[in-house]
Chain A
Amino acid sequence: MKDNRLIEIDKLYMYFPVTAGVLQRRVADVKAVDGVSFYIKKGETLGLVGESGCGKTTTGRCILQLYEGMKGNVFFEGVDLTKLKKEQMRRMRRNMQLIFQDPFASLDPRMTAGEIIGEPLKVHGLAKGKEYKDQVAELFRMVELEPYMADRYPHEFSGGQRQRIGIARALAVRPKFIVCDEPVSALDVSIQAQVIILLEKLRAELGLTYLFIAHDLSVVRNISDRVAVMYLGKIVEITQADEIYANPLHPYTIALLSAVPIPDPKVDRTRKRIILRGDVPSPINPPAGCRFNPRCYMATDACKEKEPELRELTPGSEHWVSCHLVK
């Protein structure tokens, strides 16, 4: 395993077909993920940030092999998941789990909290009888819920508590890697902090690795070690979390950061504001050349013709940018 890399993604593509007409012919593709490569180190949190339609959720699910029709390779501890047989992949799934955004939709309303959290233990045959009960109780405690709540149904819990149930469910199989897909976006501000702190505590205690997907840059920067910025199916910049704020290089990253207000008027006033023109284009028909060029305030002719490559700034810096104008 190279450099302690737990996950390595190589040239990932995921297109969703658009069909039309009576015969449902494939007329176009939603190029959700369009050539994405990166790695996640063991024990780190990689933040994946971008606006709607950029492909971040799809990327997360592709890593977990949840889609058919995906192209490219995904390595987990050096093993190529795309080449595994169904049964091998099923066993592999114990190592990687998913936490969802919507604490209402992601829990089966007909199962009790205890059943939801314990289900993975049953599915993978990990525990029975008293040991099962003990493990479920332990999972409740890990997410700071009381074990006596196990007999309650999801609707009896608050949003933040439901999210904790989702986290406990993900932890049941003692995974090594968890994809957190917008885990706090649907929660109230004062509850977001509770869940963020819990996730970080669990990561440190259990030696987990996270892919933290979100659109809220402030949240992502706080919890992540490194951050990757996506735009229209591609990664435009990846670097350390402190670096992305101190030294953003891609014009989209810079614009994105300037659009996020800092809750402190004195500080916020001193910042430069870049207001982008227009909306995010559709991933069905991305612009030619650099995807960002129509909205880019630095675009040159070269940007309209040729797509830039994701290049490391200086060898070993681990700061990658995809822009013709950044040397």
Chain B
Amino acid sequence: MTTTVKDEKVLEIKNLRTYFYTQEGELKAVDGLTYYVNKGESVGLVGESACGKSVSALSILRLIPYPPGIIVGGEIIFQGKDLLKSTEDEMRDIRGNRIAMIFQEPTTSLNPVLTVRTQISEALELHRGMDKVEALQEVVRLLKLVGIPDPERRVGEYPFQFSGGMQQRIMIAMALSCNPALLICDEPTTSVDVTVQAQLLEIIDDLRRRFGTSVIIITHNLGIVARYVDRVNVMYAGRMIETAPTEELYANPLHPYTMGLLASVPRLDSERKKSLRVIKGLPPNLARLPTGCAFHPRCDYVMQKCRDEYPPLEKVGENHYRACFEEVAKLKRPQ
């Protein structure tokens, strides 16, 4: 799975903080997020609703709506340059071109009044300087690449004439049209069927291997992550609480939240009706985060220290970091 270039970081996020100012007060959607993506690597950003994963992706592209959201601090270094210090013109050159994004709902991200051809051509003409004839050929080529049947005829059609799975493919084609260095996929499969999900992820993975594109896959689905990413970042209440290469994370999770999550997910091959463990309590309210470690109210290992301080990220293995005060040796591991 790895065709990654180690130590060549395409993206480096440092201590990112994105807050929303609402009637309920200050919502700390992303609160000190740090991670990086190597060239050609696929990274999974995993967590449940409101953990900040989507907001962090929108922050990379500076698509956070103001009001009510503001990126209040941190650095987002893309190919050596801090995006948070870039001008809007510079960002426009990057969006859809060097960093591309596909979203959960293709119906809301594709323009319903433009044909498929027009939508994809737009990026080609703008960023790759093609004329209309060249662009059309390229659009057809891209649609073929993502598996749209009969592309020569279908380029002239509108998004509503395609199924959900096809619309997602069109989005993938659009995203890849300018050979981006980084592709961000925000819950790309949540609204499609399982068999279509498999098709889409295979396309993305195949294209990643062929063109060396780095990919960030944002999802709450632990199965997708196991299959399609090289490294996993687990997020909780706006921060990364554990990160490790995929195999290592599943074999050896060392944060109580990760452990609880993995134990609570039904698997096709586990013993039926017996094996689900539960994380007690509810996901946190971002407007009223607990003191100290945000996970402490739900944690089986909670100590006084957890209520007072936020645990820093510490190394627990090769490329494996986690933010927790409990000693590794004291964690009860399932068999």
Q: Which residues of A contact B (CB under 8 A)?
A: 51-52, 158, 160, 188-194, 196-197, 200, 215-219, 221-224, 241-242, 245, 255-268, 273, 275-276, 278-280
- Are B194's CB and A215's CB within 8 A? yes
Residues B266 and A190 in contact, CB atoms below 8 Å apart: no
| Contact status A188-B283, CB under 8 Å | yes
**Which residues in chain B, 55-112, are within 8 Å of chain A measured between CB atoms?**
none
The answer to whether A265 touches B266, judged by C-beta atoms less than 8 angstroms apart, is no
CA distance in complex: A260, B10 (Å): 30
Interface string of B10-50 (1 = CB under 8 A from A): 00000000000000000000000000000000000000110
Q: CA of A219 to CA of B260 in the docked complex: distance in angstroms?
A: 17
**Which residue of chain B has its CB nearest to the CB of A193?**
B264
Chain B residues with Cβ below 8 Å from A158 are 282-283
Smallest CB gap from A276: residue in B: B195
- Which one of B48, B225, B278 contacts A188 once the chains associate, using CB atoms below 8 Å? B48
A241-B272, A266-B251 given; A189·B261 CB < 8 A: yes
Q: Does B305 contact A (CB under 8 A)?
A: no
Q: A259-B195, A273-B202 are in contact. List 16 more A-B contacts (CB 8 A).
A: A188-B220, A189-B48, A197-B278, A200-B273, A216-B266, A218-B223, A223-B266, A224-B272, A259-B198, A261-B223, A261-B226, A263-B225, A264-B269, A273-B198, A279-B166, A280-B195
A292 to chain B, nearest CB (A): 11
B172 CB to closest chain A CB, in angstroms?
15
B251 close to A268 (CB less than 8 A):
no
Residue count of chain B within 8 Å CB distance of chain A: 46
Interface SS of chain A: helix, strand, loop or mixed? helix
Chain A: CB-nearest residue to B162 = A279
Are B265 and A267 in touch, CB under 8 angstroms?
no
Q: Are A264 and B226 interface neighbours, CB within 8 A?
A: yes
* A-B pairs with lowest CB-CB distance, top 5: A261-B223, A193-B264, A51-B193, A259-B198, A222-B266
CB <8 Å contact, A219 and B278: no
Closest to A244 in B: B268
Looking at the assembled complex, report how far the CB atom of B137 sits from the nearest CB atom of chain A, in whole angstroms. Answer: 24
Contact (Cβ within 8 A) B198 A275: yes
Q: Which of B193, B199, B264, B282 contacts A192 (CB 8 A)?
A: B264
B304 at the interface (CB under 8 A from A): no
When A193-B277, A268-B226 are in contact, do A259 and B197 touch as well, CB less than 8 Å? yes
A270–B288 alpha-carbon span in the complex (Å)? 44
Q: A197 vs B228: C-alpha distance in the bound complex, in angstroms?
A: 29
Q: Give Cα distance in the complex from A98 to B49, angstroms.
A: 26
**B222 & A160 in contact (Cβ 8 Å cutoff):** no
Per the bound structure, the CA–CA distance linking A188 and B49 in Å amounts to 7
Chain A residues with CB under 8 Å of B196's CB are 51, 279-280
A262 & B276 in contact (Cβ 8 Å cutoff): no
Sampled A-B contacts (5; CB under 8 Å): A190-B278, A190-B279, A221-B272, A263-B223, A275-B199
Q: How far is the CB of A252 from chain B (nearest CB, A)?
A: 9
Q: Does B2 interact with chain A (Cβ within 8 Å)?
A: no
Quick one: closest B residue to A194, CB to CB?
B278
A218 touches B267 (CB 8 A): yes
Given contacts A193-B276, A265-B247, A265-B250, contact A260 B194 (CB under 8 A): yes
Write the nearest CB–CB distance from A87 to chain B, whole angstroms: 39
Asked if A260 contacts B223 (CB within 8 A), the reply is yes
Residue of B nearest to A53 (CB): B193
CB of B144 within 8 Å of the partner chain: no
Q: A51-B193, A259-B195 are in contact. Are A221 and B247 (CB under 8 A)?
A: no
B317 CB-CB contact with A under 8 Å: no
Q: Closest B-chain residue to A242, C-beta based?
A: B272
Question: Looking across the interface, which residue of chain B has its beta carbon closest to that of A200?
Answer: B273
Closest residue of chain B to A245 (Cβ to Cβ) is B268
Q: Does the CB pair B194–A196 fall under 8 Å? A: no
Which chain B residues border A260 with CB–CB below 8 Å?
Answer: 194, 223, 268
Report whether B250 and A255 are in contact in the complex, using a CB–CB cutoff of 8 Å. no
Cβ of B224 within 8 Å of any chain A Cβ, yes or no, is: yes
Query: In the complex, what residues of B have CB within 8 A of residue A275's CB?
Result: 198-199, 202
Is the C-beta of B165 less than 8 angstroms from some C-beta in chain A? Answer: yes
A263 to B49, Cβ gap below 8 A? Answer: no
Complex contact A222–B273 (CB within 8 A): yes
Interfacial residues of chain B within 211-267, with CB under 8 A of chain A in the complex = 220-228, 246-247, 250-251, 260-262, 264-267
Partner of A218, one of B48, B202, B266: B266
A256 touching B194 in the complex, CB below 8 Å, given contacts A200-B273, A267-B269: yes
Q: Is the CB of A266 within 8 A of B247?
A: yes
Cβ A264 vs Cβ B267 within 8 A: yes
The docked-state distance in angstroms from the alpha carbon of A221 to that of B163 is 28
B149 at the A/B interface (Cβ < 8 Å)? yes
Residues in A whose Cβ lies below 8 Å from that of B166:
279
Residues 157-203 (chain B) with a chain A CB within 8 angstroms = 163, 165-166, 193-199, 202
Q: Which of A194, A245, A264, A279 contacts B165 (CB 8 A)?
A: A279
Name the B residues within 8 Å of A190 (CB-CB).
48, 260-261, 264, 278-279, 283
Q: In the complex, A190 Cα to B223 Cα: how many Å?
A: 14
A274 to chain B, nearest CB (A): 8
In angstroms, Cα B276 to Cα A258, docked, is: 22
Bound-state CA distance A262–B194 (Å) is 13
A265 & B268 in contact (Cβ 8 Å cutoff): no
Contact in complex: B265, A263 (CB < 8 Å): yes
A72 to chain B, nearest CB (A): 26
Min CB distance, B299 to chain A, in Å?
12
Residue on A nearest B49 in the bound complex, by CB: A188
Instruction: Give the shortest distance, in Å, between A203 (CB) and chain B (any CB).
Output: 10
Verify A256–B195 contact, CB threshold 8 A. yes
Which residues of chain B come closer than 8 Å to A262, judged between CB atoms?
223, 226, 267-269
What residues on B are CB-neighbors of A188 within 8 Å? Answer: 48-49, 220, 283
- Closest residue on chain A to residue B280 by CB atoms: A194
Best-buried of B163, B195, B246 by chain A (most CB within 10 Å): B195
Contact A278 B149 (CB under 8 A): yes
Q: How far is the CA of A264 from the CA of B228 in the complex (A)?
A: 11
- Smallest Cβ distance from A146 to chain B, in angstroms? 14
